[in-house]
């Protein structure tokens, strides 16, 4: 659900004091990325592990949680992806012969 327009965008307090030389760690996945974060390194907790990424220009205006995946593919999806990759390899091998 979006935050109301009349409210100020939420930015976690730890993001307000970004330093050039160190990463900022946070649990906040709902913080808005502003232009002041550009080219900074951020570490966000996904619920299982810490994810590190650098802020680039296309990320401005998005939430930090959009770049930290907290879910993985289910078993059925991963099995079908593995089967597709095997089929591609078989097709490549048959073309070479």
Query: Which residue, chain included where needed, has tokens 């900022």?
Result: 24
Question: How high is the pLDDT of residue 40?
Answer: 85
Q: Which runs of E-coded beta strand occur in the chain?
A: 24-26, 41-45, 50-54
pTM over 0.75: no
Question: How high is the pLDDT of residue 96?
Answer: 59
Which position has the higher pLDDT, 96 or 91?
91
Query: Of 27, 32, 40, 41, which is closest to residue 60 (Cα–Cα)?
Result: 32
Other beta carbons within 10 angstroms of residue 31's beta carbon come to 21
Question: How high is the pLDDT of residue 38?
Answer: 86
Question: Distance between CA 18 and CA 42 in Å, rounded?
Answer: 9
| Buried residues in 53-92 as b, exposed as e (16+ CB within 10 A) | eebeeebeeebbeebbeeeeeeeeeeeeeeeeeeeeeeee
pLDDT at 74 over 80: no
Domain boundaries along the sequence of the chain: 13-71
CATH number of 13-71: 3.30.860.10
């Amino acid at each position: 659900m979006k935050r109301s327009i009349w409210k100020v965008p939420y930015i976690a307090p730890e993001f307000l004091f970004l330093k050039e030389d160190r990463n900022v760690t946070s649990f906040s996945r709902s913080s808005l990325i502003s232009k002041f974060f550009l080219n900074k390194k951020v570490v966000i907790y996904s619920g299982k592990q810490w994810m590190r990424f650098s802020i680039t220009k296309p990320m401005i205006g998005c939430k930090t949680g959009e770049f930290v995946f907290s879910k993985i593919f289910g078993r059925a999806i991963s099995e079908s992806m593995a089967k597709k990759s095997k089929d591609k390899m078989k097709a490549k091998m048959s073309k070479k012969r």
